[in-house]
């Protein structure tokens, strides 16, 4: 089965919002074993929507549209799908009742244009919207199908998982299983070289997805049932883990390096504190973004100025003068000081030049020292990142969590 995504919305075309819907759908289609070769984005123009729909259907078995299901006059995706297939629009009473009930429950008045959201092409399969007022639908004709989904990401994801995914799975004609391995500390080019011979298999297949500081390795197998597919994945997964060793920090699409560090801390019943300079609280913010962070996070200190490093963390003023704040000795003393004053089991510190300027002594932008202090001592890593200021800060925080993970696994 070949699919194509047609994103409808002038706000997408003008770059006012990012098209996260297409990214999400592409990832999910790959997991379902459905090929996708193109994304198309059009504004809220009926003629151009209809034209783009026809072009997409000429190349694919199913087109998944996003957006254009609201109550206003320029929300015309369903209408254009109906017009393309020569179908009339009809009222779907259960959808109207659901819209009325939702509007009543939220205290919003029901207006006449909201009724528009309950009209669909004749014969369409309705996809109820559990978190919004815009139901979707699937229209099938002449061996082709169009799945019409809402634009708001939380509505689209809920509808895809609960409604469209089962529909697609039945029609893809295969059972697909995928496993995502999270790899940190190896760039995409080097990783591809290390795994080069493993890409030349048809089933299972291996693909890489690059992110800031890390890569996801996706292994996908197609088989008659889940158990068989997973058994096909296992040998390839074992070989990848053998070659990459400690660089594989976890698995799962929604995993992250901070979630992995959190899980290790929780399993061990241990706590962590942060002493941040160049990352400016990013380590703490990312850990707090993990549900349950209060079980492991003791406290955090943003000691940006040299005076704060000395006053709060006890960093030696002589060391600051001799080595500057961006140095191995200062990173070490920051971590050890944070651990001492907090009583936490672990402390992570960061100090560096995120940009736009480097050090007065010629130290380049992107130079960052990361330290982790624990009962077994303190380790410091010198890093050299390339990129804009926010990218350097993001990488520094990720490497901080990774260094913490590695030290916990060693001890």
Give this prediction's pTM: 0.75
301 and 383 share one domain? yes
Q: Residue with structure tokens 């992250």?
A: 256
273 and 406 share one domain? yes
Q: For residue 175, what pLDDT band results from cuts at 50, 70 and 90? A: confident
211 and 334 share one domain? no
Summarised one tens digit per residue, pLDDT across range 102-156 is: 888 888 888 888 899 999 999 999 999 988 889 999 999 989 999 999 999 999 9
User: Partners of 179 in the beta sheet?
Assistant: 219
Summarised one tens digit per residue, pLDDT across range 257-270 is: 999 999 999 999 99
Burial class (CB in 10 A: 0-12, 13-18, 19+), 203: exposed
Mean per-residue pLDDT of the chain: 94
- The residue that leads in pLDDT, 210 or 341, is 341
Burial class (CB in 10 A: 0-12, 13-18, 19+), 351: buried
Taking 90 as the threshold, does the pLDDT of residue 32 lie above it? no
Range of the domain at 222: 175-251
Summarised one tens digit per residue, pLDDT across range 291-340 is: 999 999 999 999 999 999 999 999 999 999 999 999 999 999 999 999 99
Domain boundary (220, 235, 251) is at 251
315 and 369 share one domain? yes
Taking 90 as the threshold, does the pLDDT of residue 33 lie above it? no
The Cα 55–Cα 330 span in angstroms is: 61
DSSP code, position 375? T
SS3 content of the chain, % helix, strand, coil (to 5): 45, 25, 30
DSSP string of 354-368, one letter each residue = -SS---TTSPPTTEE
Domain boundary (171, 202, 236) is at 171
Domain boundary (171, 188, 206) is at 171
Question: Is residue 132 within 8 Å of residue 155, measured between CB atoms?
Answer: yes
User: Partners of 91 in the beta sheet?
Assistant: 119
Q: What pLDDT does residue 246 have?
A: 96
Q: What pLDDT does residue 275 have?
A: 98
Taking 90 as the threshold, does the pLDDT of residue 28 lie above it? no
* Domain CATH code at residue 377: 3.90.950.20
* Domain CATH code at residue 187: 3.30.70.2860
Taking 80 as the threshold, does the pLDDT of residue 172 lie above it? no
112 and 63 share one domain? yes
Q: What pLDDT does residue 260 have?
A: 98
Residue 263: count of CB within 10 angstroms of its CB: 16
Report the number of distinct structural domains present in the chain.
Answer: 3
Summarised one tens digit per residue, pLDDT across range 363-395 is: 999 999 999 999 999 999 999 999 999 999 999
186 and 149 share one domain? no
Nearest to 399, CA basis, from 391, 270, 181: 391
DSSP string of 202-256, one letter each residue = SSSEEEEEEETTEEEEEEEEEESSHHHHHHHHHHHHHHHHHHHGGGEEEESTT--
Angstrom distances, CA of residue 49 to CA of 80, 245, 326, 330:
7, 49, 55, 59
The Cα 405–Cα 407 span in angstroms is: 6
- Residue 47 corresponds to which tokens in the numbers above? 């003629």
The Cα 71–Cα 228 span in angstroms is: 46
Q: For residue 236, what pLDDT band results from cuts at 50, 70 and 90? A: very high
Angstrom distances, CA of residue 210 to CA of 13, 192, 217:
25, 11, 9
12 and 101 share one domain? yes
Summarised one tens digit per residue, pLDDT across range 152-168 is: 999 999 999 999 998 99
Q: For residue 96, what pLDDT band results from cuts at 50, 70 and 90? A: very high
Nearest to 5, CA basis, from 140, 45, 27, 17: 27
104 and 216 share one domain? no
Question: Is residue 220 within 8 Å of residue 232, measured between CB atoms?
Answer: no
21 and 167 share one domain? yes
55 and 91 share one domain? yes
Q: What pLDDT does residue 320 have?
A: 98
Q: What pLDDT does residue 109 have?
A: 82
225 and 126 share one domain? no
- Residue 171 corresponds to which tokens in the numbers above? 């029609």
Q: For residue 210, what pLDDT band results from cuts at 50, 70 and 90? A: confident
* Domain CATH code at residue 89: 3.40.980.10
150 and 195 share one domain? no
Percent residues over pLDDT 90 in the chain: 81
Q: Average pLDDT in the 349-359 region?
A: 96
Q: Average pLDDT in the 38-51 region?
A: 94
Percent residues over pLDDT 70 in the chain: 100
Phi, psi of 191 (to 5 degrees): -65, -40
The Cα 53–Cα 76 span in angstroms is: 12
């Amino acid at each position: 089965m070949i699919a194509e995504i047609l994103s409808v919305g002038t706000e997408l075309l003008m770059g006012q919002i990012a098209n996260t819907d297409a990214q999400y759908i592409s990832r999910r289609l790959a997991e379902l074993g459905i090929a996708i070769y193109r994304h198309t984005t059009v504004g809220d123009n009926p003629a151009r929507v209809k034209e783009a729909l026809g072009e997409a259907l000429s190349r694919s078995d199913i087109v998944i549209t996003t957006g254009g299901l609201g109550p206003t006059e320029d929300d015309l995706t369903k209408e254009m799908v109906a017009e393309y297939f020569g179908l009339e629009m009809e009222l779907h009473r259960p959808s109207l009742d659901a819209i009325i009930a939702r509007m009543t429950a939220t205290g919003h008045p029901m207006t006449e244009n909201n009724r528009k959201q309950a009209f669909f092409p004749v014969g369409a399969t309705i996809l109820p919207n559990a978190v919004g007022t815009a139901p979707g639908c699937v229209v099938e004709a002449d061996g082709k199908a169009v799945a019409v989904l809402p634009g708001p990401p939380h509505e689209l994801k809920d509808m895809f998982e609960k409604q469209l995914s089962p529909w697609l799975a039945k029609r893809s004609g295969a059972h697909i299983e995928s496993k995502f391995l999270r790899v940190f500390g190896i760039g995409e080019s080097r990783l591809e070289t290390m795994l080069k011979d493993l890409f030349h298999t048809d089933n299972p297949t291996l693909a890489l997805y690059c992110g800031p500081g890390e890569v996801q390795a996706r292994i996908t197998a197609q088989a008659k049932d889940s158990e068989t597919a997973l058994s096909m994945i296992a040998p390839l997964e074992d070989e990848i883990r053998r070659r990459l060793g400690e660089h594989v920090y976890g698995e799962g699409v929604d995993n992250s390096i901070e979630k992995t560090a959190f899980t290790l801390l929780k399993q061990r019943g241990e706590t962590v504190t942060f002493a941040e300079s160049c990352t400016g609280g990013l380590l703490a913010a990312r850990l707090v973004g993990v549900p349950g962070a209060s079980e492991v996070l003791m406290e955090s200190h943003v000691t940006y100025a040299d005076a704060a490093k000395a006053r709060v963390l006890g960093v030696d003023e002589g060391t600051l003068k001799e080595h500057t704040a961006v140095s191995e000795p200062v990173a070490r003393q920051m971590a050890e000081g944070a651990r001492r004053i907090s009583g936490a089991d672990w402390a992570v510190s960061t100090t560096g030049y995120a940009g736009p300027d480097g050090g007065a002594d010629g130290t380049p932008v992107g130079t960052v020292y990361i330290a982790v202090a624990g009962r077994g001592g303190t380790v410091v890593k010198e890093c050299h990142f390339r990129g804009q200021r926010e990218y350097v800060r993001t990488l520094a925080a990720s490497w901080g969590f990774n260094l913490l993970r590695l030290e916990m696994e060693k001890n």
